[in-house]
Amino acid sequence: METTLIDQGVSLMLFGMGTVFVFLALLVFATTAMSTLVNRFSAKGSSVESEVNEQHSNQVTTPQIVKAIEKAIAAHRTNK
């Protein structure tokens, strides 16, 4: 029996959709695995993050720095 154009089109469609489905399933699996790894090792990195945040919170912003920031924001808004 000879395959018609419709049969070839359906066959190609099913092959393409199957390929996309397999790729997306692998992508979901890889993303889930990476998320699990990051969550497992993030407990070690959280102490470093809290140290950096603590160092930044201990810094004092002087009035001169505040004025410079205000001037920079005003200059940025007038240039638009």
pLDDT of 15 strictly over 80: yes
Burial class, 18, CB count within 10 angstroms (exposed 0-12 / middle 13-18 / buried 19+): exposed
Give per-residue pLDDT as tens, 31-41. Answer: 999 999 998 88
Q: Point out the least confidently predicted range of 13-22, 42-51, 57-66.
A: 42-51
| Mean pLDDT of all residues in 16-20 | 98
11's CB contacts (< 8 A; 6+ apart) are 3
DSSP state of 61: P
Q: Point out the least confidently predicted range of 21-25, 49-53, 66-70.
A: 49-53
Supply the pLDDT for residue 79. 83
| C-alpha separations of 52 from 43, 47, 56, 60 in Å | 15, 9, 6, 15
